[in-house]
Structure 1
Amino acid sequence: MLSTNSVGYVRLILLFGALALQFGSTNCFAGDLTYECKVLHVYDIENGALSNSDKKSLSSVILGTSFIVSKDTGAILGEYINTTNADLVKVLERGSDRWNFRSLAEWDNKKSAGTYVAQLLEVRESNVGTSKPFTLFSAGMLGVLSGTCK
């Protein structure tokens, strides 16, 4: 039986394998299977409204970082933003010139901390151009992040 960490490493290896196939193939273009996203803004929700994050340590660490999203599975791989240990990761909407890409990740930590965490990512695939705005809402962890994906 694999431990939780082992399962996370297996997911990471599978994602790297998918990326290796993408970049090793001559028949697909970069971005066909993944988004590469950069965090440009970090927000908190206070009194029902968004405000710039006053969590200076969080903002300074996450602001400007990048992460990769699998368009096929919804898995996210980045130094601070990733879904390798999530209990559930799935694509809700594939995205097209008419619809936005949406993925969901869930962590059910009832066994340890007793908290449930959900993360919803939306990439505005329907926007014209190669740079696509994203919004990531993280209930229980990061707050609200936004930036661009290619």
Structure 2
Amino acid sequence: MEGCLYGIASNISSDLVWGVINQLRYPCCFNNFVKELAKEEDNLVVTRKNVEDRITHAKKQTRKTAEVVVKWLEEVNIDIDNVNQLLEEARVKTSCCFGHCPNWVWRYHLGKKLANKKGDVEKRIEEGKQYIQLERVATLPSRIT
């Protein structure tokens, strides 16, 4: 009986410790979350540009762009604005104790938002990659004399 209780208490304490460690990563790794989100935002901007180039190329060939692609571009523009707002908020140095220590509660909440937004941006990039045509018909330069 005592061994069974010890096993249950061990499992519960292990889960609690890992849960606490998982939650502590938000304020402790705050700067890493900011850097990673900024990097993913750059990747999203590049993907958006590639999709826009694809749309421009399709228009030159008098092809119509699918509604899904247009909707994706609108959502990406909103996401980029949201990411920029989060990054601006993260760059504001919020501290307590007259600037001597960081505000851990603020860092926790914003770090969690940054981590979640990073996952959303990664999904948008993966969606956008399917709208980019990898190969195009090569055109030969014309001779104008």
Whether the TM-score (by the shorter chain) exceeds 0.5 is no
Structure number with greater Rg is 2
Length-normalised TM-score, structure 2 = 0.26
Task: From the two aligned structures, give the one with the greater strand fraction.
Answer: 1
Normalized per residue, the structure richer in helix is 2
For normalisation by structure 1, the TM-score amounts to: 0.25
